[in-house]
Structure 1
Amino acid sequence: MVVGALAACGNGGDNAKDGDKEKALTIYSGQHTEVTEALTKEFTKETGIKVDVREGSSNELAHQVAEEGDKSPADIIFTEETAPLVMLSEKGLLEKIDSKALDNMDDQYEDPDGTWVGLLARSRVVAYNPDVVKESELPKTVFDFAKPEWKDKVAYVPTSGAFTNQISAMIMLYGEDETKQWLEGLKKYGKQYKNNKIALDAVEKGDVGAALINNYYWDNEAKEKGADKMNSKLYYFGNGDIGDMISLSGAGIVKSSSHKEEAQKFMEFATEEKGQQVLTDTSSQYPLNSSVDTKDMKPFSELNPPKEALDLGEYSDGEQALELLQEVGLL
């Protein structure tokens, strides 16, 4: 169920008349609060269209839309992962997005039928402390971190959704046995942390040499502190290794929406340069509109992720990965 709500963005808010509230665009958001707030605030400023945001986990909100059916008050669903969008599209619960929005993005980052589109991308990376581990000592594949020479030198977060997606992709690409062997090696030689921020802090302090995280944890901290004041650096394998796997966040229009014109305008705004710049500036995730400036982040065009492991939903449900993590004793 929907677990929270933010006041409507733009003029009026909670003091708006009932008639005005009925005209507000309702977004179910599983994204980080600050990201959604920044985007909707700028959208309202640009268009005058008010927005009401209801928050929850992406999967929870997608199932809420499915349960509500044609009675759903949602106009837009904005998710952290793409699997919830795939589920809703397969159930016929998403509207086709206008070409004005889709044309802003590379078609590899959208549903083939145009019912949802990726808005942001994040890369798996290695954050490392050069005072503990030299860049020349870092491996050429993420699989090597599960070897004895990395005992107590590498941090990982098995409860992370991105880690689970990576395991799902490994299972599909390399098989369950090889993936299990890697997880067993990480458990034996690596250091487990509760979340990615704590893992990055451990690298910053020199408690551990490297950590397997998403790029935006490091990029956000570098934005706040200044990259030259960071003790750690980012390392990309750069050779198509699954350690550089890309995952997407995306959005779609709910088919039962009673504000489809406004919803289409929102999707157009979220995919054009201005909206995409707001998203990447707020989240330090990669915009999927190639015209947008990523500033001090490593340019998206310079990444070399595994082409066969772009997460468009097939890796995001994570059921098999979770079972394997439990079998190995990491959950």
Structure 2
Amino acid sequence: MRRPLIRRLTALCAAATLLATAAACGNPEDDAGLVIYSGRNENLVKPLLEDMEKAIGTTIAVRYGDSAEMAAQIQEEGDKTKAGLFFSQDAGALGALSTKGLLKKLPESSLDKVDPSFRGGAGDWVGTSGRVRVLAYHPGQVSKVPDSVHDLTKPEWKGKVGYVPTNASFQAFVTGMRVLEGDDATRAWLKGLKANEPKVYENNLKVLDAVGEGEVALGLVNHYYWYEQVAEKGEDKVGAKIHFLPGGDPGSLVNAAGVGILKSSDQTAAAQKAVDFLLSEKAQKYFADDTKEYPLAAGVTSTVKDLPALESLDAPKIDLGKLESLQETLKMLQDVGMV
């Protein structure tokens, strides 16, 4: 059994143990007006969810974890799930629940706030914020930045690329490449990249630091990591620069975090208020200003300096709901020896 699967099984077992302990001690989820399963990082969204609790006038209990693991747990729990709302880090996990018919159709008043490309085709989930894949590069080592991830398999980049193969955003990007270019082409690219001896890092921030320090020349990351670092340190202290890939390249995938209401839940009213809060001006400005993501609700634009407008990005045209085939992506990454 490979490591990622072991980690997922371990996490699910730990969650089961936690639930058993909570049942014996009294579970706050039992008393909450709304239970949220969140694939978004607690440090990132906890302040926003605290504001949500005040705004919707309902006690909230939040269970945090990996988005794919949360989606798998909801499927396993079925009608017995305590979740009323699923807040996912990426569209793929929402697409997986939609495919299984586990999400409730949202009202048009909520869906209409967001462009159709960032909501489910069945109208049962909606994006709350967006992020784009970019190439980080060291300006002293790179005279011409590649315009495609396909260029990263060329000999000149051998040992000079940093990435996080276990990261959910990287895996969503690979899933996007599978949807856009097919499994055979994606597998061939992965094999070519691995043969070029990329350097593996623990997370995207470490990749960005490695590029900034000249340890590698290029790095595969999400855009907001760079903008967060610039806001914290100043651009001259970051070292790395970023490049938005043109031409609809799969390496420029725009993915969305989003929410869906569980069809079997009796918390629909509170969950709907939560959806509308996340699409409100206050929440959208939080995503824009605090997390440096793209706000997706109409009427709110990012004020982050030098961040290209979302509509100006030359991103690939893709149904984000089709990113749900994560297990197939994981198997492919295991087969080529990346995870």
**Partner Cα distance (1:172, 1:96) in 2:** 25
- Which ranges of structure 1 fall in alignment gaps of 5 or more residues? 6-17
2:56 paired with 1:43: no
**Partner Cα distance (2:77, 2:184) in 1:** 40
**Partner Cα distance (2:260, 2:290) in 1:** 20
SS at match of 2:176: helix
What are the residue-to-residue correspondences of 1:244-283 with 2, within 5 Å?
A: 244-283=252-291
CA positional deviation for 1:291: 2.4
CA positional deviation for 1:82: 2.2
Q: Could you tell me which amino acid in structure 2 is paired with residue 186 of structure 1?
A: L
Q: Could you tell me which amino acid in structure 2 is paired with residue 119 of structure 1?
A: T
Name the CA shift for 1:254/1:196 in 2 (closer, same or farther; >3 Å).
Answer: same
What are the residue-to-residue correspondences of 1:169-180 with 2, within 5 Å?
A: 169-180=176-187
**Partner Cα distance (2:214, 2:223) in 1:** 19
Match of 2:329 in 1: 321
**Partner Cα distance (1:300, 1:118) in 2:** 14
What are the residue-to-residue correspondences of 1:174-193 with 2, within 5 Å?
A: 174-193=181-200
What are the residue-to-residue correspondences of 1:132-211 with 2, within 5 Å?
A: 132-134=141-143, 137-194=144-201, 195-211=203-219
**Partner Cα distance (1:166, 1:214) in 2:** 10
Q: Which of the numbers 195, 199, 212 marks the counterpart of 2:220? A: 212
SS at match of 1:74: coil
Moved more, 223-232 or 266-275: 223-232
**Partner Cα distance (1:283, 1:299) in 2:** 16
CA positional deviation for 1:270: 0.6
**Partner Cα distance (1:77, 1:226) in 2:** 35
Match of 2:121 in 1: 112
CA positional deviation for 1:190: 4.2
Q: Is the 8 A contact 2:92 2:322 kept in 1?
A: yes
CA positional deviation for 1:236: 0.9
Match of 2:315 in 1: 305
- TM-score normalised by the chain length of structure 2: 0.84
CA positional deviation for 1:275: 1.4
Moved more, 75-84 or 275-284: 275-284
Q: RMSD of the alignment, in Å? A: 2.4
Q: Is the 8 A contact 1:101 1:272 kept in 2?
A: no
**Partner Cα distance (1:190, 1:62) in 2:** 33
Q: Deviations over 1:187-214 (max 9, x none)?
A: 2324222222221111010111111111
- Which ranges of structure 2 fall in alignment gaps of 5 or more residues? 1-11, 20-27
Q: Which of the numbers 295, 300, 317 marks the counterpart of 2:303? A: 295
Q: Deviations over 1:29-61 (max 9, x none)?
A: 111112331221222233332211111222222
SS at match of 1:314: helix
Matched pairs, number? 314
Q: Is the 8 A contact 2:173 2:253 kept in 1?
A: yes
Q: Which of the numbers 63, 76, 80 marks the counterpart of 2:85? A: 76
2:70 paired with 1:61: yes
- TM-score normalised by the chain length of structure 1: 0.86
**Partner Cα distance (1:114, 1:322) in 2:** 27
Q: Is the 8 A contact 2:180 2:250 kept in 1?
A: no
**Partner Cα distance (1:21, 1:54) in 2:** 12
CA positional deviation for 1:238: 2.3
Match of 2:94 in 1: 85
**Partner Cα distance (1:234, 1:320) in 2:** 30
**Partner Cα distance (2:183, 2:273) in 1:** 44
Name the CA shift for 1:240/1:49 in 2 (closer, same or farther; >3 Å).
Answer: same
SS at match of 1:283: coil
CA positional deviation for 1:23: 5.0
Name the CA shift for 1:299/1:190 in 2 (closer, same or farther; >3 Å).
Answer: farther
Identity %: 38
Q: Is the 8 A contact 1:97 1:267 kept in 2?
A: no
SS at match of 2:110: helix
Q: Deviations over 1:142-165 (max 9, x none)?
A: 101110111232222222222222
**Partner Cα distance (1:223, 1:68) in 2:** 41
Q: Could you tell me which amino acid in structure 1 is paired with residue 84 of structure 2?
A: D
Q: Could you tell me which amino acid in structure 2 is paired with residue 301 of structure 1?
A: E
Match of 1:125 in 2: 134
**Partner Cα distance (1:91, 1:295) in 2:** 38
Name the CA shift for 1:62/1:294 in 2 (closer, same or farther; >3 Å).
Answer: same
